[in-house]
Structure 1
Amino acid sequence: MVSPQKSVESSRSDYQPQLQKRYKIDQIFQIISWMAVLSGIVVLTVLIVGILIQGIPNLSWDFLVSPPSRKPEQAGIWPAFLGSIILLIITAAVSIPIGVGTGIFLQEFAKDNKLAQIIEINISNLAAVPSIIYGLLGLFAFARIFGFITGGRSILSGGLTLALLILPVIIVATREALKAVPDSIRLAGMALGATRWQTVRTHVLPQAIPGIMTGTILALSRAIGETAPIIVVGAAAFVPFAPTLTIEGLQEPAFTALPIQIFNWVSRPQEEFHYIAASAIIVLMIVLLVMNATAIFVRNRFQSSR
């Protein structure tokens, strides 16, 4: 009969760590990862440099405040730029309160039952639905059923459609930010006599605001670059006048946005339109950088204050 000590010694002698092979595999994986990262950076750098070289010479104040034209030397982006800003305002005003409120309710107040699990799965699945599907939903819901309120295929319908598009992303980001808050903060608040809502409002939510703001700004950045939903709702490729921030102006059937204007210029055969399309891309990137910088500033501000 073999003693336990001898069996342990024999198993140790049979074990082959193969450290050199593992280190080689680890080095190969690191090399592949660096190559993937560097290839993406190189491609992005080439694209940005090409856009800057083509677009910077055409950037001017007249280009920003002028309407589009069939003559490239007279064309501008003012209606498209203002249309994108109005779309962003409508989308943020609708999606942020509903998305953050839904995330808070599902994470902090909803019971953990089958219904809540089904809702959570559906919200996660809705975040991956193609944007054209939301465009068709917005066309049916906002442009037709509620067309007497939105004015049909208008910029208001486009903003509401984009709000539907990013709503699941904001809900998921809110829930993940609330999950990151330690439960000890909730228990301490309720142990001192605070209600659940008081605890969430005064302790949990301020801790989660940096993550919520980051996810919200990223979702809005996605919305400002979408074309398919607003094309379905009624955005036009050529609009010579800018929309107005009035109820009647938001219900006008003609509107456009920067991505659609860029696509219109890029699809034309004249090379001059390609140059002003690069200028419009630079403006759109500046808007995105400002939004991301705002998210970083808010996140750092709340993190430092807390």
Structure 2
Amino acid sequence: MELIIFLAIGALAGFAAGLFGVGGGTIIVPLLFIVFTQMGFNPDVIMHLALGTSLATIIVTSISSFMAHHKNGAVIWPVFQNFAPPMAIGCFIGAGIAGWLSGIHLQIIVGVFLIWVAYTMFKGAKQIIDSNKELPSARQQRLAGAGIGLASAIFGIGGGSITVPYLNRYGVVMQKAVGTSAACGLPIAIAGALGFMFFGMKAQVDIPNTIGFVHIYAFLGISIMSFMTAKLGAKAAHALSPAVLKKCFSALLLLVGCFFILKGMNQSR
């Protein structure tokens, strides 16, 4: 029964990722939080499990995604080379910070982040990119990569919600920004998943079918289905208005973000 639920989450997350052009983490984390709560897991570690498992599933989806973008010539490899190492280091450190934070604080932090993503997505529906701008220096890119990696672990995402706006800001067209972000998602996801496993094992999480803060059944079910349904979502996106889709999804993220913040504040009282 658990595996069926995780397969359903993967199907929804993959379809949404393809449809709305964002990483599945923004969908996976809230759904896993609800499912793990219903399964009666320790409330203190539910958010950590949702974040760690989300990052583990992104390993699989990012491989498929960045290979497709590479075939279309949409990955800026010099930028990836500057981003990847500090992103991986930052993400591993971020996993340690997330492990140290309480579940309540993580809920509030993730809730605020989802509201920020909702705002940027709503605003970006009509964004015009200035192609005359130039990317910052390699050193500045490495610093940005470390920050993106750190944030990605705490939010349980592959970094696309931060990397894409960053690259757009410096004149990178959307297709190449998304392609480069997809490639960067792999080192982020690997380092983040290993970090949540490591720090979760140190915390001695006593929940069946887990390695540290990663739930194995959830990882398998979500990875399998999201890999398959992401392509369906991408096809559906071409038949609909991207601007309308982004506005609808931003409204959903706003609701989920508010849910996390209110729940975290109520538990802290």
- The answer to whether the superposition gives a TM-score over 0.5 is no
Please say which structure displays the higher CA radius of gyration: 1
Of structures 1 and 2, the one scoring higher in RCO (CA 8 A, sep 6+) is 2
When normalised by structure 1's length, the TM-score is 0.29
When normalised by structure 2's length, the TM-score is 0.32
